[in-house]
Structures are given as C-alpha cells and as structure tokens.
Structure 1
Amino acid sequence: MPDYLIDPMPPQLSAALVAKLQRVETATVGHSRHWGFMDRGIQPLLRGKRIAGAAVTLAIPGQDSTLLHHALGLLRPGDILVVDRLGDDKHACWGGGVTIAAKAAGAIGGIVDGPCTDLAEIEDSDFPMWCRGMTPITTRLYNLGGTMNRPISCGNVPVSAGDVILADESGVLVLPVAEAEAIADAAIARQERGERNQERVKAGEKLGDISGATKMVLEAMKAGT
C-alpha cells in the first residue's frame, strides 16, 4: 500500500504581517542574513511578482503527483504550496491544470524544487510560480505516497509547514514566523535609507562618500605608503 503522511494545515499569517512582508525585497534581507534562501536555480516564471504567506509543504516522488492533486483540495486563500520533488529533476508535477486549481482555491503562489510545464497557461493565469525551469515530461497518478505538512527540503533549505515564505524576482526566502516581523522591520528601514541615498546620488553626491567606501579605500592606501 502507498504510504501517505498528512499533518493538519498550518496556521496562516496575520494580514498585518503579510502586508508588511510584501513591502520587503528578498535582496534587502540578503544584505544582512545569509541563510534561509533557496538555491538560486529556483527562479520565478513571472516577472514583477512578490508573494508572502505561510508554507504548505508537500513531498512527492518523481513520476507521481497523486498527493499534489489531493492537496489542491485542501488549500486555503493566502497559502503558498512548497513542493519537494525528492531529487527528481525530470518530471513536471505542476502545469496548467494544477495552476488553475491552486488559484481557484485561493493559493497565492507555488514553489517547486523541480521543473514545471505549460508556461503559457501559468502566464495566462497570472499565477506566481518559482521552479527549476521547464520540461515537457509530466507526472501521472501512480499513487506512490508522499507527505503533506511535514518538514521538507526545497532549494536546499529546510521548510516546515507554517514557515514564512517571501518570494520575488530575486529568489525565495524561508523565515521562522517568530523572526519574520523583526526582519521585515529592519529590511523596510534599510530600503528607506537606500531610497534616501539614491536621491543624494542623483543630486550629485558620490556613492562611495555616502557609504564610507571611499574613506576606507583612501585610509588603506595611506596606511600602505
């Protein structure tokens, strides 16, 4: 018999936290935090998208998408489905039909540690997706088992159900819920400083003078003479 391990759906994020996270660029967090970022091979299929929400986790074996089809019926508005393909990089578990079902359930995005298919249908659905590229070879309903809302690995990062997912054009970040608000506040403050510095550069100041880089270079050169 196939082995299915399915845990309850995780708590969702508050609307206030989601709104705050949607202001944050993953690259801003990457200035100060170097862990929790998925492998850069997982890239967005649509440009200009940023999503923030709680992870619903799935692990399914290579040629099978039976549990994925079942999971689509459990998704709630605001969920982000994160799929561990257990090392498979040949078969697309996610295509046009899955996209339409996920969007109809209210999910706001999907992240697959493997390829997808049906790019035109994903684009037509305007559904944010991150994956490892495209393939025409798809999965079937082989009923091989899998896990849902258990810990997984996606993009070489551990993901637990309910973890915060922040994804945009630069990549995908996984955060513990307890740390998310403080990280968002720090990132927003950094972004606001960056915007002020950009205005100063446009007004004629040099970036190296503002950042302190020029002072560091000149002092190092002076010390070396």
Structure 2
Amino acid sequence: MPDYRIAPMPEQLPAALVEKLQRVETATIGHSQHWGFMDRGIQPLLRGKRIAGAAVTLAIPGQDSTLLHHTLGLLRPGDILVVDRLGDDKHACWGGGVTVAAKAAGAIGGIVDGPCTDLTEIEDSDFPMWCRGMSPITTRLYNLGGTLNLPISCGNVPVKAGDVILADESGVLVLPRDEAEAIADAALARQERGERSQDRVKAGEKLGDLSGATKMVLDAIAAAKG
C-alpha cells in the first residue's frame, strides 16, 4: 500500500506581517544573515515578483504527483506550496494544469526543488514560480505516497509547514515564524539607509567614503609604508 502521511494545514500569516515582508528584499537580509537561503539553483520563472506567506510543505517521489494533485484541493488564499522532490531532478511535477489549479485556489506562489514545465502557460497565468529550470519529462499519477505538511528539505534548507517564505528575483528565504517580524523590521531600516546613501552618491559623494572602504584601504597602505 502507498504510504501517505498528512498533517493539518498550517496557520497562515497575519496580513500585517505579509504586507511588511512584501516590502523586504531577500538581498537586504542577505547582507547580515547567511542561513535560511535556498540553493541559488532555485530561480524565479517570472521577473519582478515578490511573495511572502506561510509554507505548505509537500514531498513527492520521482515520477509521481498523486499527492500534489490532492494537495491542490486543500490550498487556501495566501498559501505558498513548497515541494521537496526527494532528489529527483528529471521529472517536472509542475506545469500549466497545476498552475491553473493552484491559482484558482488562491495560492500566491510555488517553489519546487526540481524542474517545471509549460513555461508559457505559467507566464500566461502570471503565477510566481521558483524551480530548477525546465524539463519536458513529466510526472504521472502512480499512487506512490508522500508527505504533506511534515518537515521537508528544499534547496538544501529545512522547511516546516507554517514557516515564513520570502521569495523574489534574488532567491528564496525561509524564516522561523517567531523571528520573521524582527528580521523584516531590521531589513526595512537597512533599505531606508541604503536609499539615503544612494541619494548621496547620486549627488556626488563617493561610495567608498560613505561605506568606509576608502579609509580602510588608505589606512592599510599607510601602515604598510610604516
């Protein structure tokens, strides 16, 4: 018998936290944090998209997408489906039909640790997707089992159902729910400082002077001369 292990759907994020996270760039957090970022091989299929929400976690084996089809009927508005392909990098579990179903359920994005297919249909649906490129070889309904809303690995990062997902053009970040707001607040403050620095550079100041890099270089040269 196939082994299906299914846990309840996770609690969704408060609207205020989602709104705050949607103003945060993953690269801003990457200035000061080095954990939680998925492997950079997981890239966006659509440009100019940023999503934030709670992870619905799915693990399905190689050629099979039976549990994925079932999960599409459980998705809620605001969900982000994160799919562990259990090491498979050949079969595309996500294509045009899955995209239409996920969007109709109100999901705001999908993240697959493997390839997708039907790029044009995904683009036509304007549905944000992150994956490891494209493949013409697709999954079928083999009824092999899988897990839903249990811990998974995606992009070499552990993901639990309900974890916070922030994804944009630079990549995908996974955050613990109880740390997400503080991280977002710090990132927004950093972005504001960065915008002020850019304005000063546009006005004629030198980036090296503002960042302190020029002083470091000159001090090192002076110390070497001795």
2:87 maps to which residue? 87
Q: Distance in 2 between matches of 1:223 and 1:150?
A: 56
Equivalent-residue separation in structure 1 for 2:183 and 2:136 (angstroms): 39
1:202 and 2:193 aligned = no
- Distance in 2 between the 1:73 and 1:53 partners? 18
Aligned equivalents of 2:189, 2:19: Cα separation in 1: 15
Rounded to whole Å, the distance in 2 between the matches of 1:26 and 1:224 is 38
Structure 1 residue 148: deviation in Å? 0.2
SS in 2 for 1:82: strand
How many corresponding residue pairs? Answer: 225
Give how far 1:202 is off. 0.4
Superposition pairs of residues 147-186 of structure 1, within 5 angstroms: 147-186=147-186
Gaps of 5+ in 1: none
**Which residue does the alignment assign to 2:106?**
106
Alpha-carbon distance between aligned partners in 1 of 2:179 and 2:218, rounded to the nearest angstrom = 38
Over the residues paired in the alignment, what is the CA RMSD in angstroms?
0.3
Distance, in Å, in 2 between the alignment partners of 1:43 and 1:212 is 33
Q: How far is the alpha carbon of 1:185 from its aligned partner?
A: 0.3
AA in 1 matched with 2:74:
L
Structure 1 CA distance, aligned partners of 2:114 and 2:106?
23
Residue equivalent to 2:134: 134
Percent of aligned pairs with the same residue?
Answer: 89
Report the alpha carbon displacement of residue 76 of structure 1 after superposing the two structures with TM.
0.3
Deviation at 1:91, TM superposition (A): 0.2
Q: Hey, what does 1:70 align to over in structure 2?
A: 70
The Cα shift of 1:9 comes to: 0.3
How far the C-alpha of 1:143 sits from its partner, in A, is 0.2
The 1-side partners of 2:23 and 2:33 are apart by 17
Tell me the alpha carbon deviations over residues 70-112 of structure 1, each in whole angstroms, 9 at most, x when there is no partner: 0000000000000000000000000000000000000000000
Q: Give the superposition deviation at 1:39.
A: 0.2
The reply on whether 1:211 has 2:211 as its aligned counterpart is yes
1:122 counterpart residue number:
122
Q: Secondary structure at the match of 2:56?
A: strand
Measure the CA separation in 1 of the matches of 2:216 and 2:133.
42
Unpaired stretches in structure 2, ≥5 consecutive residues: none
- Cα displacement (A) at 1:19: 0.2
Paired AA for residue 70 in structure 2? H
Secondary structure, aligned partner of 1:138: coil
Query: Which amino acid counterpart does residue 90 of structure 2 have in structure 1?
Result: K
Other structure's SS at 2:182 match: helix
CA drift of 1:60 comes to 0.1
Q: Whole-Å Cα distance in 1 between the matches of residues 65 and 80 of structure 2?
A: 17
Q: Deviations over 1:4-62 (max 9, x none)?
A: 00000000000000000000000000000000000000000000000000000000000
Aligned partners of 1:172, 1:144: CA distance in 2, in Å? 28
Q: What is the alpha-carbon distance in structure 2 between the residues aligned to residue 191 and residue 201 of structure 1?
A: 15
TM-superposition CA deviations, 1:191-225 (whole Å, max 9, x none): 00000000000000000000111011111111111
